[in-house]
Amino acid sequence: MRRTTIGLVVPVLLAMAAATAHAARAAPCPPTVHRAFPLRVVDGDTFRLHGERIRIVGVDTPERGQPGAAQAAYRLLMLLKSGPLVLVRHGKDVYCRTLADVYVNGSNVAAVLRAEGYAKDQGAMVRFRRRAWRRAGAGGRS
């Protein structure tokens, strides 16, 4: 009897977990709330424009609290204030942020941030992931 109960409960729990995960992915993004401040920088690659959260495609800067984050955020603010903005929207990410190419005075903001050294070092991130992979015992190339 116990084996039958477990046999019935496990598939039900798996089905409920799958339905919950699907509902979370399919949930619509909350509506944009328009704030009093038209422009606010969140970090070096994300900002709010009239309440809409925009994530710049093509650059990854340090997150708040990491070394270089404040400098990257300040540089992004100065770039965004330096001229007319053009956004080329590409949809939303899993955090409901608008993914967009951002241009100021005809220059791609992501390219400027990368060229000026505000982006994370991708080579260091790849090396870190490889070391973590090896430490986990999964092997991998060096």
Residue at token pair 């608008």: 98
The residue-averaged pLDDT of 83-96 equals 92
φ, ψ for residue 13 (rounded to 5)?
Answer: -65, -40
Residues 6+ positions from 121 with CB-CB distance below 8 Å: none
CATH topology of domain 39-135: OB fold (Dihydrolipoamide Acetyltransferase, E2P) (2.40.50)
Q: Where are the domains of the chain?
A: 39-135
Query: Is the per-residue pLDDT at 37 higher than 70?
Result: no
Residues 6+ positions from 91 with CB-CB distance below 8 Å: 98, 99
Average pLDDT, the chain: 78
Between 7 and 62, the more confident residue is 62
pTM strictly above 0.75: no
Q: Which amino acid is at 30?
A: P
β-pairing, 98-104 vs 52-56, is parallel
**pLDDT tier at 29, thresholds 50, 70, 90:** confident
Nearest to 126 by CA among 141, 111, 110: 141
**pLDDT tier at 113, thresholds 50, 70, 90:** very high
Res 8: pLDDT: 52
Query: Is the per-residue pLDDT at 101 higher than 70?
Result: yes
Q: Which segments within the chain are labelled E, that is strand? A: 39-43, 46-49, 52-56, 85-92, 98-104, 107-108
Is the Cβ–Cβ distance between 59 and 42 less than 8 Å? no
Res 131: pLDDT: 61
Query: Is the per-residue pLDDT at 28 higher than 70?
Result: yes
